[in-house]
Amino acid sequence: MNNLFNTHSPYFKDKVIPETRRILALLFFTFVFAIGVLWFLEASDVPLYTGGITGIAQLIRDGIYIFLGKDLGTGFIAIFILLVNIPILVIGWFGVSHRFTVYSIISVLLQTLIFAWMPVFDMGLIGVEHALAASVIGGFLIGVGSGGALKYGTSLGGIDILAQYLSFRNGKSVGFFMMAINVVIALIGGILLGGVVGPSGQVVAGGVIISYTLIRIIITTVVTDKLHTAYQFLAVDIITETPDELVEQILKIVYRGVTLIGAKGAYSKNDKTIVNVIISSYELDRIIELVKKVDDKAFMTTKPVKGVVGNFKRKTIA
């Protein structure tokens, strides 16, 4: 217990600080995601749909409005997110990672509170003529929220967990799965609300709804994959004069195999060692922190790896 509050202890530096940073990042990116949905997509007169569980909730809510004449607002989205995530979180618990699922639970609860209590704010992009700007900015913020959370080993819950589950098993991009699901949501939304009076009181053609939602999807997907690249690989070469301690830390903390290559500095004439390690891209930040801690004079380069054959373990992100 003393190590928990001792800011100079290895436990505090290696455990407390990283976990605190991760939770704060999760809260921040969840809020960014919610802002993108509420203040840009939900505020627009053109029905714009986000992806995953939230997008499905929008579809069901709008369907209830069309067929039953009842506008349930964002409160319905909050309840739907909470209830539907329960079985998905169970899948995450057994199929992805316990820690990953705990972080997702935190995000789901925060989303529920935000969607239930935060009002839809007028950012000046409500009109039909501003739908493109709303879809672009909203899509960007949603991508930042989702991708940023995944980058820190957390998630916003919902389809993120299912996508992570599938991606963990076949190595494909998370964005690939999200794109497929989101396109279906866009098509159904356009068919459902096209040419009828929607909750905003406006009549919008189905093609317009689909087009702007697809723009939102493309931007979100690109941003998500730029921020979260957990199943793309990197080759890291670290040139150091103290390889033993560095290798020990990589094996202990990152759990990756290491290859050592002898080298010599052309200018200094000093003997050096190239420490070569293949990692998933999301592990790069951990490697950088580790190298700075062990040898702040080390020289490090990275390059993308298209594929890995052999004994390379695909690990859960948290």
pLDDT, tens digit (0-9, with 9 covering 90-100), for 33-43: 999 999 999 99
Q: What is the torsional sign of CA 150, 156, 159, 164? A: positive
| CATH match for 233-305 among 3.30.70.120, 1.10.10.10, 1.10.645.10, 3.60.15.10 | 3.30.70.120
At 222, is the pLDDT very low, low, confident or very high (cuts 50, 70, 90)?
confident
At 10, is the pLDDT very low, low, confident or very high (cuts 50, 70, 90)?
low
260 backbone dihedrals φ, ψ, rounded to 5°:
-105, 135
DSSP three-state, residue 297: coil
> How far apart (Å, rounded) are the C-alpha atoms in residues 296 and 301?
14
Q: Where in the chain is the domain with CATH 3.30.70.120?
A: 233-305
Share of the chain above pLDDT 90, in %: 38
For 198, left (φ over 0), alpha (ψ -120 to 50), or beta? beta
What's the half-sphere exposure (Cβ side, CA atoms, 13 Å) at 151? 20
At 177, is the pLDDT very low, low, confident or very high (cuts 50, 70, 90)?
low
> How far apart (Å, rounded) are the C-alpha atoms in residues 275 and 260?
5
